[in-house]
Amino acid sequence: MTKEKETKEKEKTSGEFKLTDLPGIGATTASKLESNGYGDLMSIAVMIPSDLATIADLSDAVARKAIGAARKMLNLEFEDATQYLKKRQEVIKITTGSKNLNELLGGGVETRAITEAAGAFGCGKTQLAHTLAVTTQLPLEKGGANGKVAWIDTESTFRPERIKQIAEAKGLDFEKSLKNIFVARAFNADHQMLLIEKINELIKNGEKIKLVIVDSLMAHFRAEYAGRGMLADRQQKINKHIHNMMRIAEANNVAIYITNQVMANPAVLFGDPTTPIGGHIVGHACLTPDTLIQLSDGLIRPISEIKKDNLLLSNNLNKLLSQNSKCDATFINPAINEIYEITTTNKIKASPLHKFFTLETFIKISKVF
């Protein structure tokens, strides 16, 4: 066996592969990929062939071959659940600073996942981001990730003085805490997407990034893609943006925390009419398997306690009569300490968090024969 083959075998054994080990990827092409934020095999393995061909100026056939080789080198194939369990054990849960919120999130904000906080202006989304930017720097035994933070600021909401207050409250050196937070101001949607790719460079340069904050996700997209005519283009870009974040989270064991704006849906008669911007593309990408947090009015509703198909008395406003209907979902807040009993034609028990509406006018429509 030649020295060159022996060296490659050692690299295969140790897992220390380089981009130049991929077929069709030379030094020039590897440099071009690295400058675009694709500096490791994992970033190549999860790419779409057409994207790799465009960025690296390769043919589709060569791009597919390179991606296939990267996946083979990283052994991105089926694995038994014990191996998957080992990966899950590497997940870090970063404390939010609130014991109750940590419990609802299953221990805190998880790495290798995207956590979204959606709500109206002033409800605390950015304040939670500031807290996470500090708690991420705490040791693992104190609920931190012993790492640094990358903050993409789209609405000029980052406040270093707030970091100072939280750091001092946690017993940390505020100057060191500020140095561990990398902040970039995004001026438009394309710049925001570029900054996500730049995070790969920070990690490659040895910065121990463990949390990426995007505050807020949809501000630029909402302003630049106005109207239904641009909705499809907007959603495609958001989808790519979200997947780039998911790639960073998975490849580097990083937590992604994004804030999101809301809009009011006038068609909603019961409950909160506010809906997060971004639609299902954003919703499906974010980590909400066991919790649903309604930040717009402060009410926390655990999904784990949902009871479906219960028969309830409801009002059909089309037929103007009461009828039994199956409950779509039941949300229970264990923190309620006050119950109101409202007497109308019936007796209704409710907490101060319940919302009601009244019919100011009642028009009875009858058929004339």
The CATH number for 98's domain is 3.40.50.300
Instruction: Specify whether 219 is located in the same domain as 291.
Output: yes
CA angle 203, 207, 211 (to 5 degrees): 75
Tell me the average pLDDT across 152-159.
92
- Both tokens of 362, joined, read 């009642």
Q: Is residue 131 part of a domain?
A: yes
Instruction: Specify whether 153 is located in the same domain as 230.
Output: yes
| Higher-scoring residue by pLDDT: 151, 37 | 151
Instruction: Select from 249, 281, 304 the last residue of a domain.
Output: 304
Instruction: Specify whether 127 is located in the same domain as 266.
Output: yes
Instruction: Specify whether 59 is located in the same domain as 198.
Output: no
Q: Is residue 311 part of a domain?
A: no
- Assess whether pLDDT exceeds 90 at residue 148: yes
Instruction: Specify whether 30 is located in the same domain as 104.
Output: no
Q: What is the percentage of the chain residues whose pLDDT exceeds 70?
A: 66
Lowest-confidence segment of 1-5, 158-162, 281-285, 363-367 by average pLDDT: 363-367
- Assess whether pLDDT exceeds 70 at residue 298: no
Exposure pattern of 131-156 as b/e (b: 16+ CB <10 Å)?
bbbbbbbbeeeebbbebbbbbbbbee
- Both tokens of 116, joined, read 């979204």
Q: Is residue 315 part of a domain?
A: no
Instruction: Specify whether 168 is located in the same domain as 294.
Output: yes
Could you tell me if 186 and 195 are in contact, meaning their C-beta atoms sit under 8 angstroms apart?
A: yes
Instruction: Specify whether 34 is located in the same domain as 124.
Output: no
Most confident range (mean pLDDT) of 169-178, 254-263, 358-367 is 169-178
Q: Is the pTM of this model over 0.75?
A: no
| d(C-alpha 102, C-alpha 40), whole Å | 33
Q: Is residue 159 part of a domain?
A: yes
Which residues are 244's β-sheet partners?
none
Q: Is residue 235 part of a domain?
A: yes
Instruction: Specify whether 149 is located in the same domain as 249.
Output: yes
Q: Is residue 365 part of a domain?
A: no
| d(C-alpha 96, C-alpha 134), whole Å | 10
Instruction: Select from 304, 332, 361 the last residue of a domain.
Output: 304
The enclosing domain of 53 has a CATH number of 1.10.150.20
> Residue 81's pLDDT is what?
82
Percent helix, strand and coil across the chain, each to the nearest 5: 40, 15, 40
- Both tokens of 314, joined, read 């409801």
Maximum alpha-carbon separation in the chain: 101
Residue 325: pLDDT band with limits 50, 70, 90: low
> Residue 334's pLDDT is what?
52
Could you tell me if 259 and 214 are in contact, meaning their C-beta atoms sit under 8 angstroms apart?
A: yes
Question: Based on C-alpha coordinates, what's the Rg of the chain?
Answer: 25
Instruction: Select from 272, 304, 336 the last residue of a domain.
Output: 304
Instruction: Specify whether 64 is located in the same domain as 95.
Output: no
Q: What range does the domain containing 299 cover?
A: 90-304
Q: Is residue 343 part of a domain?
A: no
Instruction: Specify whether 118 is located in the same domain as 195.
Output: yes
Q: 222-225 contacts: CB < 8 A, separation 24 or more?
A: 222/261, 222/277, 224/188, 224/189, 225/189
Residue 220: pLDDT band with limits 50, 70, 90: confident
Render pLDDT for 81-101 as a digit per residue (tens, 0 to 9): 887 788 888 899 999 988 888
> Residue 180's pLDDT is what?
96
Instruction: Specify whether 113 is located in the same domain as 247.
Output: yes
Render pLDDT for 26-73 as a digit per residue (tens, 0 to 9): 888 988 888 777 777 877 887 888 888 888 889 989 999 999 898 888
> Residue 19's pLDDT is what?
87
Count structural domains, the chain.
2
| d(C-alpha 207, C-alpha 178), whole Å | 14
CA distances in angstroms from 70 to 32, 112, 181, listed in the order given? 17, 20, 32
CA distances in angstroms from 85 to 22, 80, 88, 252, listed in the order given? 29, 9, 5, 17
Q: Is residue 362 part of a domain?
A: no
Amino acid at 292: L
Most confident range (mean pLDDT) of 145-149, 299-303, 317-321 is 145-149
Instruction: Specify whether 104 is located in the same domain as 57.
Output: no
